[in-house]
Amino acid sequence: NALRNDWPGYSLDLFTYPQHYYGDLEYVLIPHGVIVDRTECLAKDIMQDIGDNNIVVLCVLKGGYKFCADLVEYIETLSRNSERSISMKVDFVRLKSYHNDQSTQDMQIIGGEDLSKLTGKDIIGTGRTMKALLNNIEKYKPKMIKVASLLVKRTSQPDGYRPDYYGFEIPNVFVVGYALEYNEHFRDLNHICVINDNGKGKYKV
């Protein structure tokens, strides 16, 4: 599940995608079908590790909503067809840390209900940006916290955060699609793609 730094990706000509993004993308990094299959595998791993527990799934908006929805659906299906069941509640929080394609130092935690209700609960967080959120959640002393992220970027920083479950390790490139956005664009793109300079310029704010 690790994509090499020299991975050339897939030609855009092999896939269908919204016409309004023609000319804005470099290549398809991970096709939608591969994302879905990998998410099902993660659901099985989670079921195996924490079956028979009541959990709160904390979805990180907006970039994590498709991954979270698919992951929760697979866990529910596995739970229905298994002797080991999981009772799940889903809550939502939004972390805002990007300006154009650059990650900023300022992290805003927006929305979500009262996090004090997480005290003593098992929590699975789903999303991309986690350190600030984890620091916030840990104040409430939940029983257990596990983080599931679809993507992990390979960086030169040795202290880079590693989630408990992840779908793909990818090169340090800026990706869009499957709810990952660039200034609110590309959420309607099913595949995970690398944006090109034309796309960055067109949608820059």
Q: In CATH, what number is assigned to the domain containing residue 55?
A: 3.40.50.2020
178, part of any domain: no
49, part of any domain: yes
pLDDT in tens, 54-106: 888 988 888 889 999 999 999 999 888 888 777 888 888 877 655 555 554 55
9, part of any domain: no
155, part of any domain: yes
pLDDT of amino acid 111: 58
**Of 150, 149, 142, the residue nearest 53 (C-alpha):** 142
135 confidence band (pLDDT: 50, 70, 90): confident
Residue the block writes with tokens 């398809």: 28
Look up the pTM and report it: 0.84
108 confidence band (pLDDT: 50, 70, 90): low
187, part of any domain: no
165, part of any domain: yes
pLDDT of amino acid 128: 46
Q: Please name the residues in contact with 1: beta carbons below 8 A apart, sequence gap of 6 or more.
A: 38, 166, 167, 168, 169
pLDDT of amino acid 54: 80
The span from the CA of 178 to the CA of 24, in Å, is 16
134 and 163 Cβ atoms separated by less than 8 Å: no
116 confidence band (pLDDT: 50, 70, 90): low
Could you tell me the residue range of the domain that residue 92 belongs to? Answer: 34-169
Split into its structural domains, the chain has a count of 1
DSSP state of 95: E
